[in-house]
Amino acid sequence: RQLLTTCQKDLEDAKGDAVQKGKRVEELHGKIEANLTELTACRDKIAQLEETVRVSAREINDSHAMNESNLTKLTQLSDKLEQMIEEKKRYEVEMSKFEEKNDVQSNSIRSLELSNMDLTNELSSLGSLLEHERQLINEKNTLIASKDQELFSMREELEKARIENERLSGQCASKSAEIESISKQVILLQESSKDLMQKVSEGEGGAKMALEQLSEEKKNLQEKIVQLTNSLNEEKSNFLEKTNEQEKAFREEKRAAAEKLKKVEDQREELERRLREAEDDNNRKAERFVEMEKEIDEERRKSNDRVNKLKEVIRMKEASALESRKQFDEVSSCVIKK
C-alpha cells in the first residue's frame, strides 16, 4: 500500500507537470499567433511600399514624357534657326547684288533694315524661348532629385521591413527549438511512466487505470505537440517563401527604377547638350547679325558718299551752265546793242 501511495503521488506530480506543459504550449501558441499577426502587418506595410514605388515609377514616366515634349520643342527651335540661317544666306545674296543695282540701292537698304529688325525680334524671341527651356530643364532636374530622395527613403523602409522579417524568422526558429525541447521532456516523461507502470504492474486495478489514463493524456499531448510543430514548420516555410518572393520583387523594382533613373539622366544630359549647342549657334547668329549691321552701315556710308559726290558734280554742272548762260546773255546783249 505504501508503494501504491507513492505511485499515486508520482502520477499526480506527472499530471501536474503535464498540465503545466500544456499551459506552456498554449502560451507558445498564443505568442506564435501574435507573431503571425505582426507578420501580416509587415506584409501590409510592404504592399503599401510597393504601391508607392509603382506610383513613383508612373511619375518618372510622366517626367520622361515631358522631357520628350521639351526635346520636340528644342527640335522645332533648331529648325527655326536653320530657317534663319537660310534667310541670312538670302540676305547675303541680296547684298552681293547690292553693288550691281545702284539705281535701287536705297530701297534695298531700307528693305534690309526692315528684315534685320524682324530678325532682331526673332532672335530676342528665340532667346526667351531658350531661357524658358533652360528653366524647364532645371525644374526637371529638381523633380528627378526629389524622386531620387523618395526612392532612397523607400529603399530604407524596405530594408527595415526586411530586418523585421528576419527578426520574426529568428523568433519562429526559437519557438520551434522550445517546442522540440518540450517534446523531448514529454518523451522523458513517457519513459518515466513506463518505468512506473512496470513497478505497479502487480498493484491494484485503480492504479492501472490511472496509469492508462495518464498514458492516454500523454499520447494526446504528444499528438498536439506534433501537430503544432508541423503547423509551425509549414507557416515558417510559407513565410520564408513569401519573404524570398518579396526580396526578389524588391530587387526587380530596384533594378527597374535604377534603369529608369539612368535613362532620364541620359535624356537630361542630351537636352542640356542640345541646349548648349543651340545657345552657341544663337551666339554665332547674333555675331553674324552684328557683322551684317556693320556691313549695312558701311554700305550706307559708301552710298551717301557716292550721292554726295554726284550732288557735287551736278552742282558743278549747274554752276558751269549758269556761267555759260551768263556769257551767252552778255554776248547777246552786245550783239543787240550793235
pLDDT of the residue at 81: 60
pLDDT digits (tens), the chain, 338 positions: 566 677 677 777 777 777 777 777 777 777 778 877 887 887 888 788 778 878 877 887 777 777 677 667 666 666 666 666 676 566 556 656 655 665 555 665 566 566 666 666 666 666 676 677 667 667 766 766 676 676 666 667 667 766 766 766 666 666 666 666 666 665 665 666 566 556 555 554 555 565 566 667 667 666 766 776 676 677 667 767 776 776 777 677 777 767 776 776 777 777 677 767 767 776 776 677 677 677 767 777 777 777 677 667 667 766 665 665 565 455 445 544 44
Residue with cell 502560451: 27
pLDDT of the residue at 34: 80
With H, G, I as helix, E, B as strand and everything else as coil, classify residue 200: coil
Cell digits of residue 164: 523585421
Which CB contacts under 8 angstroms, 24+ apart, belong to 145-153? 147/56, 147/59, 147/60, 147/63, 147/261, 148/261, 150/52, 150/56, 151/53, 151/56, 151/257, 151/261
Of 119, 128, 92, nearest to 108 by C-alpha is 92
Q: What is the DSSP annotation of 114-132?
A: HHHHHHHHHHHHHHHHHHH
Of 47, 287, 264, nearest to 143 by C-alpha is 264
Write down the pTM of the prediction: 0.33
How far apart, in Å, are the Cα atoms of 309 and each of 126, 186, 319? 43, 130, 15
pLDDT of the residue at 142: 74
pLDDT of the residue at 338: 43
pLDDT of the residue at 157: 65
Question: How far is Cα of residue 280 from the mean position of the Cα atoms in its chain?
Answer: 30
pLDDT of the residue at 33: 81
pLDDT of the residue at 335: 42
Cβ within 8 Å of residue 52, ≥6 positions away = 150, 154
Find the largest Cα–Cα distance for the chain.
Answer: 199
Burial 60-83 (b: 16+ CB within 10 A, else e): beebeeebeebeeebeebeeebee
State the Cα–Cα distance between residues 151 and 53, nearest whole angstrom.
7
